[in-house]
Structure formats: structure tokens, C-alpha cells
Structure 1
Amino acid sequence: MNAAARMWLMLIGALPAEAKNVLVTGGVLRSHHLAVVPVVEGLLERGHNVTFVLPNTREAQAWFPKGIGAANLVFLGDESASVADVKFPDMKNLRWYERIRVFGRMIWKGRSWLEGPLLALVDDLLRLLENNKFDVAFSSAMSIGCNAALKSSSLPWVGFVSLPPMPQMVLSDTEEVCKYPNMINPRPVPELQSSLLKRVQNRVECMMQRTFFHVGFLVVNSVLRGRGLEPAKDFSNLFLAAHTNVLLGGPPLSLPIKLPEGVHLVGTVERRRPRSLPTAMGRWLDDAGAVAAPVIYVSMGTKYEFTESTCLNFVAVLQALMSYGFHILWSLRAAQQEAFRHLLPSASDQLMIEEFTPQPEVLAHPAVKVFLSHCGWGGVTDTLAAGVPVLAYPSFADQLDNAQRLVEVGAALLVLPDFSNLVQAAKSVVGSSSFVQGTRDAALDLHKYGGLERTLNLVEEVSEGRFPEIAPHAKAKMAQMDPLFLRDHGLEKALSILFGLLVFLSFSCCCGISLRCCCYCCCTRPTKSPQDDKKKVE
């Protein structure tokens, strides 16, 4: 298709459609809601009426103090939906037994988290649907309770997964999922191609993760049944519950996989109109740019928790970075600032620490040269839009895979858990234009998926009862699957089962030996004979 034809199609897509009443849900965390804001703004610009549902908690009521244009913000549920006490630990700096303890706590508390933050809005949402006429809904995949309520209604809706298409969340067949790099330790594809041992290790780790996910899936379905809602068919159905689903990302920042029907890749969804920077922050950045000092922007998302030892290491490295002429803008939540007040250095011409920063606008400032990020997809989207390379410091879940893909396209360097390579990595990224070029190339690739315009078109088409086809570009990209993921993995499966049996037998033997030792020590005490007593008397 030539440029003129593409421009004509874009103009047709931009023509105002009949105004629709659109219901939007944003998920659980602040980052989930921020991800849908560009869609809310885009729908408003097209003349639609938008009702944006948020949790009725103190923190959520402070997220958008000025509102979002003409959108009707509706707060549902109660304080049980609060996620203020939910912590995301610094997983990569935990020992293996500490990680097991964290996962066990997540399973133990999973039901209370589900009945609180994830399902507190359901009853109020059902009443909202009964008392109002909506034409279509656009709902975050993290709004699990809201999505279950939407499934029970007749309202057409579009599901929104603010993540790239990860096999663990998109594919339902465990055998297919475990051919791909696992979520916790995503190895490079060339490493898996060249080593049978690595493929077996990857499969064992994948099966452990799938077991954990399956336990969580059973808990979710139990809670949904208890609320009289339809349970999900499988784990992937929790995230792809609608007939039409929008996912971000796509190759080269995700691996090509076979997408289920009704799943549409859109690349990135960005705000059309940037916000202005706070005056003091803008002046500080301008001053750094005036002396040609490279600024490192630091943000670990809305829930990542520094430990005291991690913060101590990081502050020490910050001092080293500033000695090399770097300026640091650090976005650190108020609670974390209070917890580590005794460790944090004072603000200066080289260091600014803020509770919240308008991330896309900060990254777009010409003085910002590097982004130290936990690699959540929101951060990835923002940094690609600005063309700023990344120092990747992922913690868990999709962040690890996002970081690996950024490294593979030449847009990032990985930072070690103790920050010991941070200074050298920052100097390398700033000193080479190849990282900026890698970031821009990746951004150009993602823009070809259609972005915000494609997303808005999908919402409008679904509101009119149409179920659009997957875009040709996305279909072609996802069809370019590596032969490693297409062939049978029978040998890897057999060896992983053998490994599991050996671990089970070893564990059983250790338990048996320990039990015998306990029995021997406790049950075979020496007895006194009458002769011994007689000798003692004598």
C-alpha cells in the first residue's frame, strides 16, 4: 500500500463516528489506570462519552485530581479495594528460600487479595450496568472482577492487556508455553537453540511456574463461583476474557507466537497531548541541559519496594555517578522516602528526588539521556516514544522478559542486582549512539502495529457489533516463528520428567534418613539393668 492510500485510510478512520457511551475500567494499580488514560483521551477527542471506573479508595481518588478531560470518573467499591498495603518485594535480591517464602505468602493471602482489590467493585459495577445504557466497554485485563461481571452482561466489550503477548499469559497449552523462555529466567533464544541442558532447565522452571499459576487460577475460580460469576476456562482466559482483546508490544520486543482468535497487537498506546512538567522540575532539567550534563532518570514503578540494603547500595552508586558528572532525577514514592530518609542524600544541582514524575514528559526532555527502569511495559512504552535507552533493572513477571528483549534489540544494558556495574553501564550507554538508534528502531517497528488509532477503531467497531480481523502487519510478524518453537520437544520433556523424579527420590531419601535418625535418637535410649543398680549401691 502506498503512502497516499495509507493517508486516505487514516483520514477516513479519523472521521467522527456516532457518539457512543463507553465504559472504561482501569485495573487495580495506578500504573494500570495510567495505561488506559490515552484511550480515554482518544475516545473523548472522537466525540464519545466516557465513564471511567476507579476503585473508591483514598489513593485512587488522588490519582487524577484534575480529572481526565470531560470523562465521568466514577468511584466504585469501598476501602477493601485498596492496594496501599500490597508490597512487591525486591525479588532478585532475595535468597532462594526467601523467594519460596514470598510465593507461599502470595498463595496464602491470594484469596483475601482477590476478594478485596480485584473483586470489591463487582456489585457496584453490576448496578451501574443495570442503571445506565452503555454501547461498549473497554476493560483492563487486570479488572478480573469487572471482566467477570461484563461477561455476565450483554454489553460488547474490548479487553485490554497492557503487556506484550507473553506465552505464559496468551497460550493455554502448557506444552507450547514451555517451549518458550520462561517468565522468571527468560534466556536468550540463541542460548536455548544451542544447548539441550538449557532447554531442559527452562522447561523445569516453566513447569514450576505453571504449577504456581494453576494454584492461583483455582483460587480465582473459587472466588468467582462464590460470587455467582462465571469462572474462567483456563489461565489465559483470565486475561483474554473478551471476544476482542488488545495487546501492546509485538516483535521485535516480544517473541512471535500463535495468537488466539480475536487478539490484536497495537504496539504502543501513547498520549497525544503531553502534560507540562512541574516548574521546579522543568527548571532543574533545563539547568542540567545548559551545562551539557547527562541526566539519568530513575523510576521503579508504582509498587516496587527497595530494601534497606538495596537502597544503601544504590545511594553509594549514585554518589559515584555524580562524581562522573551525571545528574540524577529519581522518582521515589513518599513512603519509600520516609523509610529511607536516613540514607538518602540531600537534593542538589545534581540530584532531585520527587514523589511522582510525569514520566513521558520527563523522558522527552532533551537533557535526559538514560532511563534506569524496572522495565514495566508502561516504562518501556514511554522510553521508546522518547528515544531514550534503558539501564534495565527488572524485578519479576513481565519485567524480566521486557528487559531481555530491550537488550536484544540494542536498546538497553542489564544492571546487576547489587548495582555494581551501573556506573560502567551508564558510561557505555551515554558514550555510544548505537543505543539511541536501537531504541528508535524498536519504536518505529512498534508504531507499524497501529497504536492508539488502531485501538480506538477497534472499540468503535465492536460497539457496532463488528469483530475485526487481525491487521495484516501483525499477522505477518507473528507468523515468523522460530523453528525451535514449532518442533516437538519430546526429548526435553522426557529429561525434565526424569529430573523431577530424581529430585523427588532424593527428597524422599533425605526425609527417610532424617526420620530414621530421629527415631533412633528418641526411641533407642539405653536401659539400666538390675546388675547396674546393684553395683551402684555397692
Structure 2
Amino acid sequence: MWKLVAVLACAVLSTAPRPIGAFNFLVLHPLHSGSHEVQLRHLSQQLALRGHRVTYLKFKNFVQLPPLEHENITSITLAVDNSDGHVPFVTPEKEGRFMLPLDVMWRDGLSPWGVPLDAFWTVPAHCDTLLRDVRLRRRLRQVGFHVALVDLLSNECGLALAHALGVPAVAYWALPATGGEATFSAGLSSPSGAVPAFMSTYSDAMNVLQRGVNLFYAAMNQLLMRFQFFLADRSIQRHLPGSPDSQQLLANLSGLLENSDFSVDYPREYPPNVVNVGCMQCREPYPLPQELEEFMRGSGEAGVVLFSMGATFDASIAPPELLQKLLLAFSRLRQRVVMKISGVLPKTLAVPSNVRIERWLPQQDVLGHPKTRVFFTHCGLHGAMETVWHGVPAVAMPVYGDQLDVSSLLVRRGLAVRLYKESSAQQILHAVTTVLDDPSFARRAAEAKRVMRDQLTSPLERAIWFVEHVARTGGAPHLKLASRTLSVVQKHNLDVMAAAAALLAVLVSVGLRWRPAVGPPRLFHSHRKTS
């Protein structure tokens, strides 16, 4: 009897209606989610707190964050079968984990020619793992999702899965929208004369030579992306025959959440379904652990320098000579230094008395601490946004990819001084002391903080409203630009101009042929009498 009651109770609870206005969201990460996961985890948690249900799908990664704990969140973790070791950057095991090629990134990460081309071969591995699992698709289809939130970097197959499920897709782009899939998304315009290309380090005001170089960078981005689309589309058609290709999927996005803010990035034209959500994770600081708080407070008026270069700074992989130069430079500061370094420091390195090493630290809580004076950062976009939001000037040492562009943004706004991986200890010391001693850096950082926070709604509120709006309107078709499906020829009226030129050529040709037949025009007429 009690068993029957329990079964009936479970049945009633499982069929109970969702809260009014609640939706089902599907979050799809690519093979490598990395720091991109921070934003979408935060957004997923907030959606769950509002009564929505979230299915959170990701792949095993080199940094495995704990599962999201909420009754409205279901986590699914996939892994690439790399038992034979054929997939680059994935551990050779049955359930392989993606590993960042840190050695390559440290060596060649700032060169456009240093992009490891074998990284493209992770795309078919990701696609095959995600799309060939028919049981997974059946399970997801039964949920009845309203919107798919797709972490867009190398995730064309996530878009294909969302399309196969009949779910409108909203993409999240964690990098500057100057390269990659973002430049193909939702009709977003990226004219090379005004929008600096990925890794160009240019501003939005370029001279003739810079525009020429920028055009070349933009063309290279197009070429590389089309090769990636080719690889992804082969897998998509193998598992989902008849599916739209990658470019069509990107063009028909219901929206794009762009990790940017105009207080940092350059202003540009955005379609109505592209929403700036930069610093979506930013918040006021929480109290620090007691030992760390005591270290910070003990710095006195001099304050603290925060050093954090993200997951790229592993002591076992970062150049040992750079570690030595950093510690030597920091030992000469009157400030205390908190360094976030993963891995094990070489025993030959002596840690100065004013330096505290942490394997992990709550970055925003330290940035927002009143004793923090400077942020020494690699200039990942998340960290750059956070340092502006908390009003802390920076010393930038980019390591790879978009970090060079992001550091250029901060330097041009007078919020940072840039170093390079090859900088000497003296140059490091000079950069840090320049930012510490020149009050203009702190003044501009305070102004940038005020501008970033002076918004009608927060980035998180905008993101939540937008994805709910897409769910309520069945994909927000009213926000999609007609120009998103136009080719380059159509978008710039090159066909119209070609037709006009052809018509003009015909008219000129006819005019030239007709003129000799009637003779040259007579400007003066003779009225001589005949005898």
C-alpha cells in the first residue's frame, strides 16, 4: 500500500507544472570550454534560481570544475574516446580530457603564424562524440527545450545538435568579436576598415597601411574558418544528413551574447539580437580567508600587487627564467605581492618574504579589496573586464591569442602598461612601479569603473532577459536581420554595380557605333549663296 502511495506521489510530482514562465534551457560547451565556462555557469545558476530548468552539457577538460549543484540543473559530461591517441591535445585514454598545449602557447602564442594547425583535427572528434550518440539526442529531445545556449568557439556541431532538436540557439562568444565564428554570426558586420581584426592589435582608427594589413588578417580569418567549417560540415552531414551547413547555422542564430563592454572595447554596429554581456560574472567582493586577509591588511599604505595569469601559468610549464625574473622584480617592491601559480615551483627558486604564493584564489575578492593597487595579468578578457569593473590599473603580459588585442585595448585607454614574455626583471619592475607611482593610472581606472557600472541594467540582467525573450517569442525571428543571409556580393551591391557598369558599357558602345554613321555634329552652318 505504502509503495503504491509513494509511486503515485512521485508520478504527481514529476508531472507537476513548471512555475509560470519557466523554460528549459540546454547549455552546450565545445571540447575546450576553459575560462568560457565561468560565464555560462554563472548564467545557468541564475536561470535555475529563477525557476528555469537547465541541462548543462560539457566535455572532460584539463580543469574540471565541480558539477553545478541545484535541483533545477542537470549536468551531462561527455568524453572523447582517444584510446589510440589519434586526437591532438586530448589525453590518450578511453575518456580523454582536452589539454591546453601550454608549451606551444608560451612559445608561439602571440604570432598569427604560431596557431597549431593540428588543433583543427579536434573538431571532427568533438562532432562525432556529440552527434553520433542517438540515445543522447533522444534523451534531450524528450526534455522539450525552449532555447539552446551554445558556447560558440569551435562549436558548429553544437549548433547542428540544437537545430536537430528543433531548438532556437543563442550563442555565447567569450572573445573579442573580431575573428572566429563571431564574424559569421547573426549578420554581425565587421568592416575591415573600421573593426580591427583578430590579433592585429590595431584600434578602430587605422591609416591606409594598417587597413591593408587588417584586411589581410581578416581574409586569413575567413580562410581558416572556412577550413574549420569544411571539417565540421563533414561530420554534421554524416550524422545529421540534410542539416544546414555551419555558415547557415551561424547566420540564423536567434542571438549572440558577446563578452564585451563599450567602456573597454571599441564601439561598433550591432544587430538588435547581439547583446553585450561583458563582466556578466562581476560582483562585489566577498570576505577573504583569514590568512589571506591578514597578509593583505599587513601591507599598510603601500598595498598589494595581485599576480594572476590564469590557467596558462603553470610553474612546471612556464619558462623558469621568467619565474626567476618575476620573483626578482617583486622582491624589490615595497608592496606585498599575491601570486596565483598552479603547479610546483622549482626548488631552485627562492620566494621573497613579501610574496605569497596561492594555488587558487578568489580573484574578484582580491581585486575588490581596498589594499589592491595593481593587477599583473595575462589579459584574458574575463580578467580584463574584472579589473576595469573593480577599478584597478593593470600590468599586462599577454601569452597567446586574443590577449594581445585585449592588452592593446587597456593600454590605449591608459589603464595598463604592457610587457612581453621576454621582458627583463628591470623592465618588469619599471612597469609595475610606473603604474603604482603615476596617479593618472589609478584616476583613469576609477573613471573606467564608473563608466562600466553606469548602465540601465546589469550585463547579467540583460543576458537573462534576452534568453527569456527568445524563449517567449519562439526564437525571436523579429530581431533577425535580412542581411544575415546575403552574400558579400549582395550585401555590398556588387551585382547591382556590375549590372550598372555593364549597361553603361553597352550604351557607350552603341553610342560609339552610331556616331560615325550620322557624321560628326556640325557646330557652324554655312549660308553661302549659289550663283
TM-score by length of 2: 0.71
Counterpart code for 1:156: P
Residue of structure 1 in register with 2:346 after alignment: 341
Identity among equivalent pairs (%):
22
Partner Cα distance (1:174, 1:156) in 2: 21
Give SS of 1:297's match: strand
Out of 467, 472, 487, which is 1:464 matched to? 472
CA contact (8 A) 1:265 1:449 kept: no
Residue of structure 2 in register with 1:199 after alignment: 211
Give SS of 2:197's match: coil
| 1:457 Cα deviation after fit | 0.7
1:87 aligns with 2:101: yes
| Greater alpha carbon shift after TM alignment, 155-164 vs 275-284 | 275-284
CA contact (8 A) 2:329 2:429 kept: yes
Give SS of 2:301's match: coil
Out of 215, 218, 225, which is 2:230 matched to? 218
1:431 aligns with 2:431: no
CA contact (8 A) 1:286 1:367 kept: yes
Partner Cα distance (1:215, 1:177) in 2: 21
Residue of structure 2 in register with 1:323 after alignment: 332
CA contact (8 A) 1:372 1:392 kept: yes
| 1:308 Cα deviation after fit | 6.4
Residue of structure 1 in register with 2:498 after alignment: none
CA contact (8 A) 1:165 1:247 kept: yes
| 1:38 Cα deviation after fit | 2.3
Counterpart code for 1:259: Y
Counterpart code for 2:448: A
1:228 aligns with 2:240: yes
1:145 aligns with 2:157: yes
Partner Cα distance (1:299, 1:395) in 2: 12
Deviations 1:120-154 (A, max 9, x none): 34436523312323333323223443222012222
Out of 110, 115, 119, which is 2:120 matched to? 110
Distance 1:95 1:114, change over 3 A: closer
CA contact (8 A) 1:29 1:83 kept: no
Give SS of 1:159's match: strand
Deviations 1:482-537 (A, max 9, x none): xxxx9x9xxxxxxxxxxxxxxxxxxxxxxxxxxxxxxxxxxxxxxxxxxxxxxxxx
Give SS of 1:171's match: helix
| 1:297 Cα deviation after fit | 1.7
Partner Cα distance (1:226, 1:305) in 2: 39
Give SS of 2:310's match: coil
Distance 1:254 1:468, change over 3 A: farther
CA contact (8 A) 1:252 1:409 kept: no
Distance 1:240 1:125, change over 3 A: farther
CA contact (8 A) 1:268 1:446 kept: no
Counterpart code for 2:117: I
Deviations 1:381-424 (A, max 9, x none): 22122211111122333222211111122211111332332211
CA contact (8 A) 1:458 1:468 kept: no
Counterpart code for 2:65: W
Deviations 1:420-444 (A, max 9, x none): 3221111111123322332343344
Partner Cα distance (2:287, 2:347) in 1: 32
| 1:458 Cα deviation after fit | 0.9
Residue of structure 1 in register with 2:191 after alignment: 176
CA contact (8 A) 2:259 2:278 kept: yes
Residue of structure 1 in register with 2:381 after alignment: 377
Out of 321, 328, 333, which is 1:312 matched to? 321
Distance 1:317 1:238, change over 3 A: farther
| 1:329 Cα deviation after fit | 1.9
Partner Cα distance (2:109, 2:471) in 1: 50
Q: Can you give the 5+ residue segments of structure 1 that lack an aligned partner in the other structure? A: 1-15, 471-485, 489-538
Deviations 1:224-282 (A, max 9, x none): 33332635443xx6766621221121424223333345222234302557555444433
Distance 1:396 1:281, change over 3 A: same
Distance 1:95 1:78, change over 3 A: closer
Distance 1:133 1:360, change over 3 A: same
Q: How does 1:6-155 map to 2 (within 5 A)?
A: 18-27=21-30, 28-55=32-59, 57=60, 62-64=64-66, 67-80=68-81, 82-89=96-103, 91=105, 94=108, 100=113, 102-103=114-115, 106-111=116-121, 113-117=122-126, 120-122=129-131, 123=133, 125-142=136-153, 143-155=155-167
Residue of structure 1 in register with 2:370 after alignment: 366
Partner Cα distance (1:30, 1:82) in 2: 15
CA contact (8 A) 2:61 2:99 kept: no
Give SS of 1:176's match: coil
Out of 441, 447, 453, which is 2:461 matched to? 453
| 1:63 Cα deviation after fit | 0.9
CA contact (8 A) 1:157 1:463 kept: no
Residue of structure 2 in register with 1:526 after alignment: none
Residue of structure 2 in register with 1:258 after alignment: 269
Whose relative contact order is higher, 1 or 2, with alpha carbons under 8 Å and at least 6 apart?
1
Counterpart code for 1:133: G
Distance 1:324 1:109, change over 3 A: closer
CA contact (8 A) 2:195 2:268 kept: no
Distance 1:175 1:331, change over 3 A: closer
Give SS of 1:292's match: helix
Deviations 1:163-222 (A, max 9, x none): 3432665434999336533322312445x23xx333333333443444333333322323
Residue of structure 2 in register with 1:418 after alignment: 422
Distance 1:247 1:308, change over 3 A: closer
Partner Cα distance (1:410, 1:92) in 2: 26
Partner Cα distance (2:36, 2:306) in 1: 21
Q: Which has the higher helix share?
A: 1
| 1:367 Cα deviation after fit | 2.2
TM-score by length of 1: 0.71
CA contact (8 A) 2:147 2:471 kept: yes
Partner Cα distance (2:316, 2:196) in 1: 28
Out of 279, 282, 287, which is 2:298 matched to? 287
Give SS of 1:30's match: coil
